[in-house]
Structure 1
Amino acid sequence: MSEKSWLECYPKEVLPNYDYPKQNLAQFLNDSAEKFPEHIALAFLGKKIKYKELLDETYRFANVLKDLGVQKGDRVAIMLPNCPQAVIAYYGSLLIGAVVVQTNPTYMEQELEYQLNDSGTSILIALDLLFKRIQRVIPKTNVRNIIFTSIKDYLPFPKNILYPLTVKKDGLSMDVTYSEKVHSYKHLLKSALAIPITVELDAETDLALLQYTGGTTGIAKGVMLTHYNLVANTIQTRAWCYKSEEGNERYLAALPFFHVFGMTVLMNLAMRLGGMLILLPKFDIDLSLKLIDKMKPSTFPGAPTMYISLINHPDVQKYNLSSINICISGAAPLPGNVQERFEKLTNGKLIEGYGLTEASPVTHANNIWEKRKLGSIGIPFPDTIAKVVDPETGEDVENGNVGELLIQGPQVMQGYWNQPIATSETLRDGWLYTGDMAMMDNDGFFYIMDRKKDLIIAGGFNIYPREIEEVLFKHPAVMDVVVAGVPDEYRGETVKAYIVLKEGVSTDANQLEAFCRERLAAYKVPRKYEFRTSLPKTLVGKTLRRLVVEEEKNKGFVE
């Protein structure tokens, strides 16, 4: 394993080692604004923002935070979809040395309360549509200030006029009650000065990001990523995309920036290269096809579900997709037939990669233009070492044998926020223990065989069974429950709940789904329910989730 046989498969344009500047991650934006001030940085539903304008507004936002008392090391939560404000708030926070806490806008109250409290967030930037939900949570936290913004703040005329009508039609509300601690993004930015702010920091030790991820316990953990971690992973990704040209790339930003994959391979990479981010607040296949046809993106990172939607769209032949050169698929396994059909349709390259939040996130990828292997996650990135070990003994396994995947590299996290025990279990002797079972072949290509953890990956989102079980256990009719991932042709996996009801009490799948939707983000809600008289357990009463999964596999169950 120590031979690094994968280096023989590197393209000549990719070096095995690079120098990673010890700088603020936001320096990528500063540099591109200096090189390409007139280039379009953001394209948002008809609105275009140049790099010099983006930097100007980012400086303004940084000064807004400073005026609100935010200091180096304070946590700033961003609860936004892909929109200009999400980019501005992200880099503005970094400029003053704050730590960004990316928060999924679909989080329900319980999830939001936990993350804000665990991170010690002092200020939250959120969408006006979320006001009522946030208003109920904030009194239970130590958040001092909230800044609300609206999608319409950056929409061009007449979309900015029509947007409120659409929102009202959908039964949503843009109403916000402002106060001493509840502020308007638009008003704050308008009155702020665009004075450059430079905060001295140690890129290798100062945190840029607390990115929350979970585990088999169901307790979300804040992954501590430094400026250096994220700078390194951005440069590694840029090296892999060696044909990408500075100042000349367009990125279809369908992956959410609050997901670390979208944050690195879209937002940070685009800023590094002076590229254009074509922003989608949420993935919509019809809008995506129209934008590809009209805006001509060259790069389209995504999750397999996005590519499946595209190749199966009934009107896909009506659109010109020939601008797409590079697609990096992550967050879930990429089916081989999807890769082949997509490439035939677009003439671009679609490759599978691998990463995890704890590694900023990318560690492996197939070559884009050189040797690659279907079904493989590819080979390790520059300066990244990977090996496969026996999960019991810790000894290296022979090529072709399955074991736990371990990783070293400059992109690996510092640990979990305020969780020293979890950190010591995952970071050992300089290695990141991924919890994924893998195999390496003689060429140095890696394959993910199974998950050691009980993590479910559905549509690119990480879902943790314990969290869903805890919600279902609160239902008055539920006596016992176990949640597992089952195969799904579209999402890769989907969530299934196995339920044992209390004696003499009844409920059905529709009622359980409604119960979950009030308490969980939509992507976590089980899509399938099976009612049983009992669940398999150990002698000490622990439910055997793996046995349930095996029973499901034995059914040959794929819907």
Structure 2
Amino acid sequence: MDTKPWLQFYPPEVAPAFDYPKQNLALFLVTSAQKYPWKPAMYFMGKMITYQSLLDSAYRMANALRSKGVKKGDRVAIMLPNCPQVVISYYGALLAGAVCVMTNPLYMEREIAYQMKDSGAKIIITMDMFVSRVEKVIEETKLEHIIVTSVKDYLPFPKNLLYPIKAKQAGPLPVVHYGSRVHAFKQLLAASPNDPICESVDAERDLALLQYTGGTTGTPKGVMLTHLNLVANTVQSANWCYQVEDGKERYMAALPCFHVFGLTVLLNQAVYRAGMLILVPKFEVAMILDLIKKVKPTLFPGAPTMYIALINHPRIQEYDLSSINACISGSAALPVEVQDKFEELTKGRLIEGYGLTEASPVTHANPIWGRRKIGTIGIPVPDTEAKVVNPETGEEMPVGEPGELIVKGPQVMKGYWNRPEETFDTIRNGWLFTGDMATMDEEGYFTIIDRKKDMIIASGYNIYPREIEEVLYEHPSVKEAVVVGTKDDYRGETVKAYIVLKDGAAPDPSGLEKFCRSQLAAYKVPRQFVFRDALPKTMVGKVLRRKLLEEEEEGRPTG
């Protein structure tokens, strides 16, 4: 108990350890479909899809991928928003024994090319509106096939008929040239058999997922997550929500499934519990409130920005949110006033947790119906060890003293894809060095006090300044650029760029923004540009980001 003081705060319903089935992660779907074939697995824009139907489609996708040459261990990229196709593709790829590469649909060509080349993906499954971006870079990659779907493919009648008319009003419909390398999602499934297929795996060694994260270097790295990593984290986080009933819950899926938090606490957990995923392709407050009214979700994992947007909606008092029993907030610090206000509106529980891609991602959470401490990330989840150590020596720090948070457990990654040196630096004797500075109190509750050196978290997205700086340096008028995160009441943090212009160049913030938008996903584009004559630097010429942030916080002029 001395080494794990947090165990005394485990609710009696949560065991400190569990057995994790050493199986293909996709067997969760097979099991739930056998137990609850007619229960709804997904709700999308008014259409319900049962577990039986989802499994049938996943088998068809697995067989389709096999017919296109996918073998065990091959990488399949999935670049889709939250819609039935992302769930079908994910489980289809896993059943076929492939490794999923979840790709952000907001990515621009440069970002897509890097991820496809680094992962060596053979196939990408995406939407018609994103195809042109993929096609522009396909020759740089090992992609052999593109499988293309459309929003209308899974819309209910008559929305499926009206969709092209509505979409046309927003601009020209995307033109897709189908052929030997480009296949239509629905036709491909219809032409493939639904023969049961589930590749056997060595769950501790075989990968289920390559999830890209920027790390502190700014160069995205593929985090290798095994079937057992994801099975374990699904079971750990599902048991933390011990009041959940199999076959009865409705999960508000507003977190994107291409993000590891959404993947584990929504997609994997809902299927493990045979719950219904209410799929939301884009977070819009009015749509979320209408869905809550209509479909009555019971669980709503999210990022603080989502809860902030809801509680600040001008007509929030007109909505009944009482169906929501529990919410786990992750990806950024949860303000106390947001927690209080949201709980007042729902009468449910909103708790803060912590995780990182390298841990599948959940490692800590406050007890949902037990002792929670506001402002902390809570306590380690079952089978998870955590401690605070001196970042230089690795020695454990005394209670209350800050140091680096390190964690150990069955959810910790196998390593970084093709990066043995960085893996060696990050995992030592089974301990994952998070790079986050934290403290632990005498009861075993942890508090994050500072994040990985320079990373920005805006609206739940991890943003790495170096990547944006590299794009800014490509602009002909930019001499020097440094990017920092500044506090933002809504996004948590927002991206701010400090620019030193070349001689003779005039400040042009809108031109710089446009340039960035052509190279970066929208959430990475700086919201503010500050033009300076010089940047604060060390003796060796390294820019002092911390100095810029201090000036920002003190309200001193930074221009």
Instruction: Spell out, residue by residue over 1:477-514, the C-alpha distance to the aligned partner (whole angstroms, 9 max, x if none).
Output: 11001001010000111110011011111132111111
Please report how far the alpha carbon of residue 171 of structure 1 lies from its aligned counterpart in structure 2 after TM superposition.
1.6
**Distance 1:506-1:265 versus aligned 2 partners, 3 A rule:** same
**Counterpart contact for 1:484–1:496, Cα < 8 Å:** yes
- Alpha-carbon shift at residue 161 of structure 1 (Å): 1.4
Counterpart for residue 73 of structure 1:
73
1:122 aligned partner, one-letter code: K
Letter in 2 for 1:52: Q
The AA in structure 2 aligned to 1:77 is A
- Is the Cα contact below 8 Å between 1:215 and 1:454 reproduced in 2? no
Q: Which position in structure 1 is the counterpart of 2:537?
A: 537
Write out aligned runs for 1:60-459 (5 A).
60-459=60-459
Shift of 1:393: 1.9
Deviation at 1:200, TM superposition (A): 1.8
**Residues 124, 143 of structure 1: 8 Å contact kept:** yes
Give 1:548 deviation, angstroms.
1.6
1:444-476 residue CA offsets vs partner (Å, 9 max, x unmatched): 110000013211000000000000000000111
8 A contact 2:228–2:410 mirrored in 1: yes
Aligned length: 557
Distance 2:285 2:452 in 1: 33
User: Hey, what's the Cα distance between the residues in 1 that align with 2:80 and 2:434?
Assistant: 29
Higher deviation after alignment, 219-228 or 424-433? 424-433
Counterpart residue type for residue 462 of structure 1: N
Q: Which amino acid aligns with 2:240?
A: W
Q: Could you give the per-residue CA deviations for residues 391-440 of structure 1, whole angstroms, max 9, x where no partner exists?
A: 12221111111110000000000000001111111111211000000011
Is this contact kept in 1: 2:81–2:258, CA < 8 A? yes
Deviations along 1:15-37, one digit per CA (max 9) or x if unpaired, are 11100000100011000000100
- Letter paired with 2:418: N
Shift of 1:547: 2.0
The answer for the alignment partner of 2:22 in structure 1 is 22
Deviations 1:243-264 (A, max 9, x none): 0000000001000000000000
In structure 2, distance between residues paired with 1:45 and 1:451 = 38
Partner of 1:517: 517
CA contact (8 A) 1:216 1:466 kept: no
1:37-85 deviation line (CA, Å, top 9, x unaligned): 0100000001110100100010000000010010000000000000001
Paired amino acid for 2:144: R
Q: How far apart are residue 163 of structure 1 and its match? A: 1.3
Query: Structure 2-normalised TM-score?
Result: 0.98
Once the two structures are superposed, residues 357-412 of structure 1 have per-residue CA deviations (whole angstroms, 9 ceiling, x without a partner) of 00000000001011001100000000000000111222111111111000000000
- Deviation of 1:144 after TM superposition, in Å, equals 0.4
| Partner Cα separation in structure 2 for residue 394 and residue 410 of structure 1 | 21
Mapped contact 2:216–2:452 kept (Cα < 8 A): no
| In structure 1, distance between residues paired with 2:380 and 2:498 | 38
1 CA distance for matches of 2:17 and 2:133? 47
Q: Aligned AA for 1:365? A: A
User: Deviation of residue 14 (structure 1)?
Assistant: 0.6
Displacement of 1:215 in angstroms is 2.1
| Separation in 1, partners of 2:252, 2:224 | 27
Contact 2:23 2:200 in 1 (8 A): no
Task: Classify 1:324/1:556 alpha carbon distance in 2 versus 1 (closer, same or farther; 3 Å).
Answer: farther
**AA matched with 1:109:** E
Aligned residue identity for 2:107: Y
In 2, Cα distance between equivalents of 1:413 and 1:394: 20
Q: Distance in 1 between matches of 2:507 and 2:167?
A: 34
Gaps of 5+ in 2: none
Aligned partners of 2:429 and 2:553: how far apart in 1?
36
CA contact (8 A) 1:129 1:172 kept: no
Q: 1: distance between equivalents of 2:156 and 2:405?
A: 48
| CA deviation map 1:173-198 (0-9, x unaligned) | 23211111011111101111100012
Alpha-carbon distance in structure 2 between the residues aligned to 1:200 and 1:252:
31
Quick one: structure 1 residues 2 and 125, their matched pair in 2 at CA, closer, same or farther if it must change by over 3 Å?
Answer: farther
1:157 positional shift: 1.1
Q: Greater shift after overlay, 546-555 or 448-457?
A: 546-555
CA separation in 1, counterparts of 2:55 and 2:556? 54
SS in 1 for 2:519: coil
Unmatched segments (≥5 aa) in structure 1: none
Q: How does 1:456-475 map to 2 (within 5 A)?
A: 456-475=456-475
Partners of 1:43 and 1:556 lie apart in 2 by: 50
SS of equivalent residue, structure 1 residue 518? helix
TM-fit CA distance, 1:355: 0.2
Provide the rounded CA distance (Å) in 2 between the counterparts of 1:484 and 1:173: 37
Q: What is the alpha-carbon distance in structure 1 between the residues aligned to residue 197 and residue 216 of structure 2? A: 41
Indicate the SS of the match to 1:388: strand
Runs of 4+ off more than 4 Å: none
CA distance in 2, matches of 1:174, 1:530: 37
**Matched letter for residue 497 of structure 1:** A
8 Å contact from structure 2 (residues 483, 495) kept in 1: yes
Identical-residue share of aligned pairs (%) = 63
- Distance in 2 between residues matched to 1:141 and 1:173, nearest whole Å: 26
What letter corresponds to residue 252 of structure 2 in structure 1?
Answer: L
Which stretch of structure 1 is more off in the superposition, 165-174 or 388-397? 165-174
State how far apart, in whole Å, the 1-side matches of 2:267 and 2:255 are.
Answer: 10
* One-letter amino acid of the structure 2 residue matched with residue 366 of structure 1: N
Question: Counterparts of 1:8-47 in structure 2 under 5 Å?
Answer: 8-47=8-47
1:529: Cα distance to partner? 1.2
State the alpha-carbon separation in 2 of the partners of residues 161 and 365 from structure 1: 44
- Counterpart CA distance in 2 for 1:57 and 1:334 is 38
Q: Which amino acid aligns with 1:147?
A: I
Amino acid at match of 1:473: Y
1:134-175 per-position Cα deviation (integer Å, ceiling 9, x unaligned):
110111111001000011000011111121122221125232
Match of 2:488 in 1: 488
Contact 1:215-1:453 within 8 A present in 2 as well? no
Does the C-alpha gap of structure 1 residues 296 and 505 become closer, same or farther in structure 2, counting only changes over 3 Å? same
Equivalents in 1 of 2:135, 2:102: separation in Å? Answer: 19
Cα pair 1:308 1:490 within 8 Å, conserved: yes
Q: What is the SS of the residue equivalent to 1:247?
A: coil
Residues 416 and 450 (structure 1 numbering): CA distance in 2 closer, same or farther, change over 3 Å?
same
Choose 272-281 or 166-175, whichever is displaced more: 166-175
For the Cα contact (< 8 Å) 1:402–1:438, is it kept in 2?
A: yes
After TM superposition, give the deviation of residue 216 of structure 1 in Å: 2.6
> 1:399·1:441 contact (CA, 8 Å) conserved in 2?
yes
